[in-house]
Structure 1
Amino acid sequence: MENINWNHWLDLAVGFAGNIVSAILLWLIGRWLIALSARLLDEQLATRHLDPTLRRYAHSFLSVTLTIVLVIGILGFFGVQTATFAAVIATAGIAIGMAWSGLLANFAAGVFLVVLRPFKVGDVVSVAGLTGTVREIGLFATTLDTPDGVQTLVGNNKIFSDTIQNYSANAVRRVDLKAQLANSADHVEAIRLLSAALTRIPNVLAAPAPDVGLLEFTALGPVLALRPYCAPEHYWQVYFDSNRAIRETLGAAGFPAPEQAMVVRQG
């Protein structure tokens, strides 16, 4: 039986341990440099008042890209054929892309949402059949807080491929209401009283002035359309106060309540 060359195996063990330590050191130093680069980039973008969502995108993209470069660099330092490794990464990327096409579609849609900016954090929007306040525009999904206090995540691709309504984008928003009058009611007097009442409601804009007019006729009587204008953040306050003004104004003026009239004929 041949004698074991312990010195040879000891050299191999020392060399292997040295490689492991070197790899760990390179990884730690590399990650520190990556974190430093990402932080410097974020500070530079913040000084230029760039959108926070776009800054997170840039931070994530830089961190992921430099981490891949770091891994390839460490493997190349230890003699691994990085060209082959890069080809493996590319192949794996294609396979993952095919398997996760929906996830990548959400990512791509998120980029377009940040670049085109149909809405921003804090806006009240209606997207993908949901209405709520935008809390965050993420890499793959957008987070909404619905009016009933439910945090909801919606895929970015679903948002971008559907109709987007931004209720906070314009400075003025119209409140649409109706007032049903009785057939015997004086609609001219009702229009005068309600026009004056709307102007007294807090946060109703003087310009454009509130609109009050005949909208349609039903079996109960004429229907008035009331359209006060306000800032988007005051919409629901104006909505509820206008409804109360309709009830109180017509009631105080003695307007009759609408009643369904039925005519019965006997042959």
Structure 2
Amino acid sequence: MNETLKRYVDVGLLIGAEIGTKIVGAIALWIVGRLVIRGILRLLDRTTKFRNIDETLARYLHSVASVLLNILLIITVLGVFGVQTFTFAGILAATGVAIGMAWSGLLANLAAGVFMIVLRPFKAGDVVTVAGVTGIVHSIGLFVTSVDTFDNERTFLGNNKIFGEIIKNHSDNPVARLNINVQLPHGADVHKVIAVLKEKLTNAPHAASNPAPFVEMVGMTLSGPLLVAHPYVESAKYPLALAAAHLVVYDEVAKLGYPTPAQAVVLREDGARLAAVNGHDARGLSQVSNSGTPEAP
């Protein structure tokens, strides 16, 4: 009995020592592997910077390399415990198919991110309007693109949503044209307003020196002549330039003495309904004086 117990104890100690050795080896392999991955990623970052690779593409390559190297490390660590890597790879592939069917939206974002990197509609640092959000592109990731709005808020947008909608890159061309409506009152000196706006918009903040701004009359409204000012500004400062140009237009029109056009609205109450509210008899409504005021009953 004692010999049997001793044999079990020896076997248990042997198994425990083997498992303990594998656990220690796995932990050591994980630590060393993480250090190696960090070194590889740093080398990759230095290489992309040395070769002047675009920052957006460099960040994308960093993300892809980090994911692939960590998956390889996990497979290697599992191999220490005797898990067949080919079997694990098959399980991983099957799991990937199942997850892909369940998370098709994420895969769509991934595919859109790859296309955006290849087609390059914008890059990090560009001022863009995507999916209704205007701001500066911070980074293009595997699944989402981050944009810093001019409210200093970082907004994350799915790559598939961006790629499926209209993309406006305000920084792609060095100069952008603004379209600012200028409503004047009746009797305003249109030629004088056009001359003043052309001069002042040239010196507006963030205005481009070439081409020169131009102002045109596009029609008449109930309020008066309608002008459209077209100043050219620095694309990188598009939102700031737009606000500054609006302020210049408002100030100069006010300096010329023209009031802000307003539309008068006249509300007329139905006579029968008004009489009913006041408690008048309906027959008394027919007794109306020449001035249009109902006679007293």
* TM-score > 0.5 by shorter chain: yes
Is 1:3 aligned to residue 17 of structure 2? no
Is 1:124 aligned to residue 127 of structure 2? yes
Consecutive unaligned residues of structure 2, counting only runs of 5 or more, are: 266-297
> Aligned in 2, Cα 1:246/1:53: closer, same or farther, shift over 3 Å?
closer
**Separation (CA, whole Å) in 1 of partners of 2:180 and 2:203:** 16
Contact 1:220–1:261 (CA<8 Å) still a contact in 2? no
Name the amino acid aligned to 1:159: I
2:52 counterpart residue number = 49
78, 83, 92: which is aligned to 1:80?
83
Q: Report deviation, 1:76.
A: 4.0
> Aligned in 2, Cα 1:12/1:51: closer, same or farther, shift over 3 Å?
same
90, 95, 103: which is aligned to 2:93?
90
Q: Report deviation, 1:39.
A: 2.2
1:212 counterpart residue number = 215
Q: SS at the partner of 2:69?
A: helix
Q: Report deviation, 1:231.
A: 0.7
Q: Report deviation, 1:188.
A: 2.6
Q: SS at the partner of 2:199?
A: helix
**Separation (CA, whole Å) in 2 of partners of 1:161 and 1:193:** 43
Aligned ranges 1:64-213 → 2 under 5 Å: 64-213=67-216
Q: SS at the partner of 2:4?
A: coil
**Separation (CA, whole Å) in 2 of partners of 1:248 and 1:31:** 61
Consecutive unaligned residues of structure 1, counting only runs of 5 or more, are: 263-267
Q: SS at the partner of 1:18?
A: helix
**Separation (CA, whole Å) in 1 of partners of 2:228 and 2:222:** 17
> Aligned in 2, Cα 1:33/1:184: closer, same or farther, shift over 3 Å?
closer
Q: Report deviation, 1:252.
A: 4.3
Is 1:25 aligned to residue 28 of structure 2? yes
Q: Report deviation, 1:165.
A: 0.6
> Aligned in 2, Cα 1:49/1:224: closer, same or farther, shift over 3 Å?
same
Q: Deviations over 1:58-100 (max 9, x none)?
A: 2333233233333434444554333222211111111111122
Q: Report deviation, 1:28.
A: 2.6
Identify which range, 246-255 or 48-57, moves more after superposition: 246-255
Larger Rg: 2
Q: Report deviation, 1:235.
A: 3.8
**Separation (CA, whole Å) in 1 of partners of 2:69 and 2:200:** 64
Identify which range, 12-21 or 236-245, moves more after superposition: 236-245
**Separation (CA, whole Å) in 1 of partners of 2:10 and 2:258:** 109
Aligned residues: percent identity? 46
Q: SS at the partner of 1:136?
A: strand
Contact 2:218–2:228 (CA<8 Å) still a contact in 1? yes
> Aligned in 2, Cα 1:103/1:79: closer, same or farther, shift over 3 Å?
same
Name the amino acid aligned to 2:225: P
TM-score (norm 1): 0.83
> Aligned in 2, Cα 1:215/1:92: closer, same or farther, shift over 3 Å?
same
**Separation (CA, whole Å) in 1 of partners of 2:223 and 2:51:** 61
Name the amino acid aligned to 1:183: H
TM-score (norm 2): 0.76
Contact 2:59–2:139 (CA<8 Å) still a contact in 1? no
Q: Report deviation, 1:118.
A: 1.4
Contact 2:200–2:248 (CA<8 Å) still a contact in 1? yes
Q: Report deviation, 1:157.
A: 1.0
Name the amino acid aligned to 2:53: L
Name the amino acid aligned to 1:180: Q
Contact 2:41–2:66 (CA<8 Å) still a contact in 1? yes
Q: Report deviation, 1:226.
A: 1.3
Q: How many residues in Structure 1 have an aligned counterpart in Structure 2?
A: 263
Identify which range, 160-169 or 99-108, moves more after superposition: 99-108
Identify which range, 46-55 or 100-109, moves more after superposition: 46-55
